[in-house]
Structure 1
Amino acid sequence: MSEKRRKRSYDEIQSLNAQVEICSSLESDVAEDNFNKPGLSKMYVKQSTRGRIDFITPKLAAALDKCKISDRDAVHRLISTAEALGEDVEKLIINRSSIQNSHIRFRKERAEKIRNNYLVTIKDSVVIHWDGKLLPSLTGQKSVD
């Protein structure tokens, strides 16, 4: 019984070695073909292209903020949504750092708008209320802080 197991495992190892040799020879052929082309090296056989379309809007960034979705979770959700809508994900800029940068940029813009709106209203008049409350004095004739 053990002799059969040894023979079977030996045959499996031999078949795996043969498959590895075939795969490595195919990879070397592809690498050599690509190496002969100008501008390519053996190390980088397939070069991926980066996305160029920035599609994150202030409304999308605000929705991600409101739902408390982290940048890393947003990457997964945006990729799956884009694929479901039939968009080519390779053309879109979807990564954690670009989402984080767009969040920062839109928050700064929103804060600047609020600051500018506040400066316009501050020119009219401002009433400041402190923590104190006016109560009648012990004599009851006037109110004191």
Structure 2
Amino acid sequence: MEEERKRVEKHLVHTNYPLEVSDTEDAEKDISAGEENAAKDMNEGEDTDGGNINLLPKKANRGKINFIDDRMLACMDKWNLSTRDAMHLVSATVAAFINTMQSVNGTPSIKMEDLILNRTTLHSMRRDFRRRQAQEIINGFNIPDVFVLHWDGKLLAEIRGTEKKDRLSLVVTGENMGKLLGIPKIESSTGDAIAAEIHNFLCK
């Protein structure tokens, strides 16, 4: 009994059941009620294997319905929205839509909990979208038979960190067209390195 009481008191410390103490008698009643609630939670948290108590909160279920398409991702990039701001805008729009549907049709068929609404997933979606868009542009572009190739080297800072690298911008122009081919990194800004990079890039 003494060990069981210690377990209950320890559990009360972790669960923080509110106790409104007005006098000695009420305090004893509240403590008894708190002990009963704690014992009940402890019994519910016991597993069938070793009787261990699981005090960890239940993991929230994430939504599984993905409703964000390429048009929405393109708008986010066009407006130059950060992933955090884009997530705020999307969440507010979805909440307003669900509230409107609820006021018109009653209980909506889709809830906020059913949708994928988190910044990590949105960041991955935007990264994949940009990669697919860049690949489609490269695959859909054919260099004309007659063209002019322009290039220029510049020392630019890396996206991550403060280190700077030599980069080479390559632009192709022709009749009624102009296209940025890429801005690859180069080992050095010497003529041989630039010529080798241009040759390798055009052969891709």
TM-score normalized by structure 2? 0.45
Q: Secondary structure at the match of 1:97?
A: helix
Give the CA deviation at 1:100.
0.8
Gap change, CA 1:23 and 1:112, over 3 Å in 2: farther
Identity %: 27
Displaced runs of 4 or more, over 4 A: 20-25
| Structure 2 counterpart of 1:79 | 91
| Structure 1 counterpart of 2:78 | 66
Q: 1:33 aligns with which of 40, 44, 67?
A: 44
Question: How far apart, CA to CA, are the structure 2 residues paired with 1:93 and 1:130?
Answer: 44
The structure whose RCO (Cα within 8 Å, separation 6+) is larger is 1
| Structure 1 counterpart of 2:116 | 93
TM-score normalized by structure 1? 0.60
Question: How far apart, CA to CA, are the structure 2 residues paired with 1:126 and 1:24?
Answer: 86
Gap change, CA 1:129 and 1:107, over 3 Å in 2: closer
Give the CA deviation at 1:62.
1.1
Question: How far apart, CA to CA, are the structure 1 residues paired with 2:47 and 2:70?
Answer: 47
Cα RMSD of the aligned pairs, angstroms, is 3.4
Gaps of 5+ in 2: 1-19, 99-109, 152-204
Give the CA deviation at 1:31.
5.0
Aligned pair count?
114
Structure 1 or 2: more helix by fraction: 1
Question: How far apart, CA to CA, are the structure 1 residues paired with 2:123 and 2:87?
Answer: 10
Give the CA deviation at 1:51.
1.4
